[in-house]
């Protein structure tokens, strides 16, 4: 009777397991998923490129990234090579923006004015600062406002949440990526630079910064065993 009871229990669990697998986003589960690509070794390899006293080392985690990723099913949802290139492109820009996940907040960011007073949809809170925070260093009141509305936090009145909640921090980076960058991936890595900071860096604006992003990208493509493709610069 014990064996029969065990069989019944297993039969009861099978639908639950199947349902759980269905509910897990495709970009997090399965072969060649983003979770398979962004292994502990890959993620920690980025962290280890930064110096030992970096605040980001105790803030940015692979678990926080994967938790944030569950809200963005289209990230890394292409073919195996396309997924690897998107991961490489995302983390290349992240590594450049944060010094290999070293910085949570922009250095001397509080001294910068990132308030666009012409944007009436997302008016600045005069007591808050909208300098760079998070993996892609989210800036400007209109980005904080829109990201907050999409993700579910008060971006205009509590922008510091991006620097205190690691999952929301990664969500802002993925929100910005999926809103502004994902759609230009087929144009080459250079298009991702243009979408993120093209007005300042591209067309000779800051060739050193462009080269830094390209170096990270080619390094990560090599690690992931995928060709970087054409049009690397902007």
- Give residue limits of the domains in the chain: 25-103+181-234, 105-165
Of 87, 96, 97, 108, the closest CA to residue 43 belongs to 87
- Note if 117 is an active site residue: no
Given the residues 97, 105, 106, 201, select the one marked as catalytic: 97
Residue 20 Cα to chain centre, angstroms: 25
d(CA 131, CA 105): 8
Contact 36, 26 (CB under 8 A): no
Query: pLDDT band at 16, cuts 50/70/90?
Result: very low
- Looking at residue 168, its pLDDT comes to 98
pTM of the model: 0.86
Position of tokens 């450049």? 96
pLDDT in tens, 134-179: 999 999 999 999 999 999 999 999 999 999 999 999 999 999 999 9
* DSSP labels, 60-100: --HHHHHHHHTT-TTTT-S-HHHHHHHHHHHHHHHHHHHTT
Of 107, 158, 115, the closest CA to residue 137 belongs to 107
Work out whether the CA dihedral 38, 178, 167, 102 comes out positive or negative.
Answer: positive
- pLDDT of 41 over the 90 cut: yes
Per-residue pLDDT, averaged over 178-193, amounts to 97
pLDDT in tens, 188-216: 999 999 999 999 999 999 999 999 999 99
- Looking at residue 108, its pLDDT comes to 85
- Looking at residue 164, its pLDDT comes to 98
Query: pLDDT band at 13, cuts 50/70/90?
Result: very low
Task: Assign a CATH topology to domain 25-103+181-234.
Answer: Lysozyme (1.10.530)
In CATH, 105-165 is 3.30.20.10: yes
- pLDDT of 116 over the 50 cut: yes
- Looking at residue 79, its pLDDT comes to 94
Of 59, 157, 191, the closest CA to residue 149 belongs to 157
**What's the CA angle centered on 67, arms 53 and 80, to 5 degrees?**
100
Position of tokens 């195996």? 80
Per-residue pLDDT, averaged over 60-80, amounts to 96
CB atoms within 10 A of CB 225: 9
């Amino acid at each position: 009777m014990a064996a029969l009871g065990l069989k019944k229990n297993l039969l009861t669990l099978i639908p639950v397991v199947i349902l759980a697998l269905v509910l897990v986003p495709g970009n997090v589960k399965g072969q060649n998923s983003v979770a398979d690509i962004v292994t502990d070794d890959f993620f920690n390899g980025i962290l280890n490129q930064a110096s030992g006293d970096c605040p980001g080392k105790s803030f940015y985690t692979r678990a926080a990234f994967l938790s944030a990723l569950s809200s963005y099913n289209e990230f890394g949802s292409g073919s195996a090579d396309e997924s690897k290139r998107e991961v490489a492109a995302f983390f290349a820009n992240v590594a450049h923006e944060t010094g290999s996940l070293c910085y949570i907040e922009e250095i001397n960011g509080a001294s910068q004015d990132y308030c666009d007073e012409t944007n009436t949809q997302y008016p600045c809170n005069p007591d808050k600062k909208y300098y760079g925070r998070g993996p892609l260093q989210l800036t400007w009141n209109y980005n904080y406002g829109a990201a907050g509305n999409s993700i579910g936090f008060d971006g205009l009145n509590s922008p510091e949440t991006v620097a205190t909640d690691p999952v929301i921090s990664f969500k802002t980076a993925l929100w910005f990526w999926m809103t502004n960058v994902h759609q230009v991936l087929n144009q080459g890595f250079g298009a991702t630079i243009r979408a993120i900071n093209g007005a300042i860096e591209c067309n000779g604006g800051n060739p050193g910064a462009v080269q830094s992003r390209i170096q990270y990208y080619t390094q990560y493509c090599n690690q992931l065993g995928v060709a970087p493709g054409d049009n690397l610069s902007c």
